[in-house]
Structure 1
Amino acid sequence: MSCILCNNTNETQDHLFLHCDLARAVWFGADIFIRNLTKAEITVDNWIKDLLQHHNESSNNTSQLQLILTLMWCIWFHRNQIMFEGKQPNPMEIILTAKSLLNRFLQAPSNNAGNTKMGSNTAQATSWQPDNNWQVLITTEGGAAKNGKWQGMAYVGKNKDGQVIFSWMQNHNSIGF
């Protein structure tokens, strides 16, 4: 399938997140340092592994990693809005949406250390710890056109090494259902 964001080449995850003109505009406009992004042979998988490795080596770049991952999700979400809702590509909208989502996440009570007062009650902030015994990470996505004519969904299962072990995608025209 041709990239619906730029119509220049086939859509792959590497093209969509790294090499597409719209994605490049997002990375440039977000004003964050992205290593090796201009290399044609870099893959999304290797790029994320590199980001995580550098994050583990220096714990002071958490906010940059959060922004990058949020931007990636927003690029995917915007792509689906273009495909299913007929929206026009807009890199600035992607950047502003990502920054808004990230700010709301960071300001949420569960992300603040200590106690949070709610009227006369006191709520203890909780933190989630992942289970290290997991076998498969499953990510899902779904969407529908505003007019209700097109619907789609997908999922991908990856093992601890990041290898895709199963995936599925379906879209259909729901006229007459």
Structure 2
Amino acid sequence: MRKLIFAMNLSLDGYVAAPGDDLGWSVPSDELFQWWSDRVGTTSLSLYGRRLWETMSSHWPTADRRPGATPAQIEFARRWRDMPKVVFSSTISTVEWNARLVTGDAVAEIARLRAQDGEPMDIVGATLAAAAMRAGLIDEYVLATAPVLLGGGKPFFTALDSWVNLNLVETRTFSGGIVLTRYETRR
């Protein structure tokens, strides 16, 4: 069985995007950006919701060819393009960049993928992750918490029907006061 990991940047008050889907507060330091890039480089499959897919696919496929692209951005763009991806959406009709589209039951497909043998896979996008979270499919949570309060927006965590008990497995501090915490679901 594969491990399903939900990992994102979030504000101290628990939001992955400010109102209006503003991500301007979450620009990572070079050190944190490299950590995310290394993570993408070892991810066997990434599951995307539509909104985050549209954000990522509008930038990263060609980011390595933009004027002023740093070596880290060039590396991340290559890794992102190479990584297999599944996009869940009922409103778009095609996807590119080593991705396939699923328009049906997201939770059933995530459960099917998770039941397969293989390396861990990431779920990215708070709305998609919320459905997997409510279904009890997430095995690990990785939070890169920024020292900023947004006061509202898109939450990292969703409302749940029951508690989810977790074990802390890693903490790390990055420049700029970002604190990374990693938790495994206690089953």
Band of TM-score, shorter chain: under 0.3
TM-score by length of 1: 0.28
Q: Which has the higher contact order (CA 8 A, sep 6+)?
A: 2
TM-score by length of 2: 0.27
Which one has a bigger Cα radius of gyration? 1
The structure in which a higher percent of residues are strand is 2
